Amino acid sequence: MNRMVRKAYYFFLKIKNRVLGRPAGSDIRGTFRRSTNGGYNLFAKGSSLINCDIGFGTYLGRRSSFSDSKIGKFCSISWDVVLVKGSHPTTFVSTHPFFYSRDCGGSKISFSSKNKYEEHKKTKDGFSCVIGNDVWIGCHVLILEGHHIGDGAVVAAGSVVTKDIPPYEIWGGNPARFIKKRFDSTQVGKLEECKWWDWPVSKIKANSDHFTSISDFCGFLENDDEALK
């Protein structure tokens, strides 16, 4: 894309977002319904966000899909990352919803006069899924609903998330398991305390050189009177 075409594209995007009431810099190429976003987001072709709250700078790759979820700022979500909603009882004689769901998702038949199994799980905040800030999720990840992925966590490609993932931990596998911590507990504590993702964008940009080294960043925090307030 040459310079003139790029300028024309972003001018069109700016007008489009203004008309639709979306924050600046939003590049929304997938399905985006009943959702809010913080600005400077990219939602790739084939992605789907329905009834979601998405933070500043977060992007989704192709065919990634979430609904009824909260996703924080500065998240990097690759392609084919899907929130899996609903489950079936494995201890019942049959796993078919005719036997435990009164409405069977709109089906014309059910053998049960009441709901006998909790098909959908929620986080303590009432969302189907909560993803913190600065989370990196690799491609082809499945996330079972009702789980929380903490700030700064990393989920390896191809994983199936069946548990909550604590902040600043790397998980992977099927089912996803703990691999290692990204930083030591003192460093993680400082990151969680300062909540850099909530700083003004101008401050983040001005101090971006500190973000390439955790020791440098923690040293910067110790000399910044405002960072830990």
SS3 content of the chain, % helix, strand, coil (to 5): 25, 25, 50
Asked if residue 94 lies in contact with residue 154, where contact means CB atoms within 8 angstroms, the answer is no
Residues near 157 by beta carbon (within 8 Å), at least 6 away in sequence: 78, 138, 139, 140, 141, 172
- Helix (H/G/I), strand (E/B), else coil: 208: helix
Question: Does 88 participate in catalysis according to the annotation?
Answer: yes
Indicate which residue of 88, 96, 147, 210 is catalytic.
88
Token readout for 175 is: 């089912």
Say how far residue 77 (Cα) sits from the centre of its chain: 7
**Kind and range of the H or E run holding 215:** helix 214-222
Catalytic residues: 88
